[in-house]
Amino acid sequence: MAHKPRKEMIAETRAKLVSAARQAFGTVGYAEASMDDFTAAAGLTRGALYHHFGDKKGLLEAVIAEIDAEMNERLCAVSAKAPNRWQGFVDESVTYIEMALEPEIQRIMLRDGPAVLGDPSQWPNANACISSMTRNLTQLKEEGRVGDIDPEAAARLVSGASLYAAQWIANAENPAATSKKAVKAFKTLLNGLLVEKG
């Protein structure tokens, strides 16, 4: 029988490695994840990993790129179905918080990622979320809905507040109650951006 084409096999191998690593990083964390263990879980050895990704950090980068793409997709879906642009922005921000409640995202994107790869805003292939939020704010500014602020700066502040708040919520004794308080305060803060309060 015909073997699968080369390219396809390779892509499959890479996907298996990324998936296994993502699982390991998301649960036990980057530092505790043994490359021998999770490559074996993928039916491979460390040799494959070093061949494709260079080192452990390279694999983490690939995992992060994948997660960022998924997050961006979810955010776009949310803002697309909003009745107006400002509401879309607010929904998107709240979705940001909700996503950051997930343990995998907390662990990989918010804790291990920054520690291993440095400041997230400098990650080459993981700022899709920020840039789409920035585009949103740029148009809101052109429409006169929000005041004279730098869209990217506002987007980063908002995302920073969201991500931090999410960690707080997720690890609180009572996540549901904490979430209510945080979202309320969050929406109040966002109103500061509006030209007239809505």
Stretch that binds DNA, among 4-12, 61-69, 94-102, 123-131 (CB under 7 A): 4-12
In the chain, where does DSSP find H-type helix?
6-27, 35-41, 46-53, 56-80, 85-99, 103-105, 113-117, 128-142, 151-170, 175-191
Q: How many CA atoms lie within 13 A of 70 on its CB side?
A: 11
54: left (phi over 0), alpha (psi -120 to 50) or beta: left
Stretch that binds a copy of itself, among 18-26, 40-48, 68-76, 119-127 (CB under 8 A): 119-127
Helix (H) or strand (E) holding 194: none
Q: Contact with DNA (CB under 7 A): which of 19, 23, 29, 35?
A: 35
List residues binding DNA (CB under 7 A): 3, 5-6, 9-10, 13-14, 33-37, 39, 43-48, 50-52, 55-57
Residues that bind a copy of itself (CB under 8 A): 29-31, 106, 110-112, 114-116, 118-122, 147, 149-150, 152-154, 156-165, 167-168, 170-172, 178, 181-182, 184-186, 188-193
